[in-house]
Amino acid sequence: MTAVDGLRRLDDGAVWLQLDRLAQAGYNAVVRILMKSWKIGKSYGVAFSGDGRLLATLGRDVWIWTVAKRSKSVRTHPVSHPCDAAFSPDAGRLAVKSTSGHIAIIDVESGQTAVDFDNSGEGEGANLQYSPCGDYIIDGAWNGRLIVRCAESASREFVQEFPGDMIRGIRSFQNGQRWIVAHSPIAKTYDRPPPPDYFSMWEWPFRRGTHQVLPLRIPFSLARSLAISIDGQYLAVVHGAPPDSLSVFQLRNGARAATIPVAVGGTSAAVRWSSDGRLLVSVQDEAVVVYAWPGLQELHRLALPFPSDAAFSPPGDALALGSWKVGWVLPFDALSGMSVPPAAAP
- Residue with the bigger pLDDT between 113 and 344: it is 113
Q: Work out the mean pLDDT of the chain and round it to a whole number.
A: 86
- Residue with the bigger pLDDT between 341 and 69: it is 69
Judge if pTM exceeds 0.95: no
- Cβ atoms 44, 62 nearer than 8 A: no
Domain architecture of the chain: domains with CATH:
1-36+224-337 (2.130.10.10)
Provide the terminal-to-terminal Cα distance of the chain, rounded to the nearest Å. Answer: 40
- What letter does residue 335 receive in the DSSP assignment? G
Q: What is the pLDDT of residue 243?
A: 76
- Cβ atoms 239, 226 nearer than 8 A: no
**What is the sign, positive or negative, of the torsion defined by CA atoms of 100, 104, 108, 111?**
negative
Long-range interactions of 188-196: CB distance < 8 A, separation 24+: 188/164, 193/219, 193/220, 196/220
232: left (phi over 0), alpha (psi -120 to 50) or beta: left
Q: What is the pLDDT of residue 279?
A: 95
pLDDT confidence bin for 334, thresholds 50/70/90: low
Closest-CA residue to 238 (of 249, 253, 229)? 249
In this structure, what is the dihedral angle of CA atoms 105, 57, 223, 19, given to the nearest 10 degrees? 160
Tens digits of residue pLDDT in 238-258: 998 777 999 999 998 999 999
Tens digits of residue pLDDT in 247-304: 999 998 999 999 999 999 877 899 999 999 999 999 999 999 999 999 999 999 988 9
Question: 3-class SS at 214?
Answer: strand
Neighbours of 34 (CB within 10 A): 15
Question: 3-class SS at 310?
Answer: strand
Alpha carbon distance 83, 143 (integer Å): 18
Q: How large is the greatest C-alpha to C-alpha distance in the chain, in angstroms?
A: 61
Q: Is 122's pLDDT higher than 90? A: no
- Cβ atoms 251, 234 nearer than 8 A: yes
Q: Tell me which amino acid residue 60 is.
A: R
- Among 27-36, 62-71, 194-203, 265-274, name the one with the lowest average pLDDT: 27-36
Tens digits of residue pLDDT in 123-163: 888 999 999 999 999 999 999 999 999 999 999 999 999 99
Q: What is the pLDDT of residue 187?
A: 87
Average pLDDT, stretch 53-65? 97
- Exposure class string for 206-241: b at 16+ Cβ within 10 A, else e: beeeebeebebebeebbbbbbbbbbebbbbbbbbbe
Tens digits of residue pLDDT in 79-118: 999 999 999 999 999 999 999 999 999 999 999 999 999 9
pLDDT confidence bin for 192, thresholds 50/70/90: confident
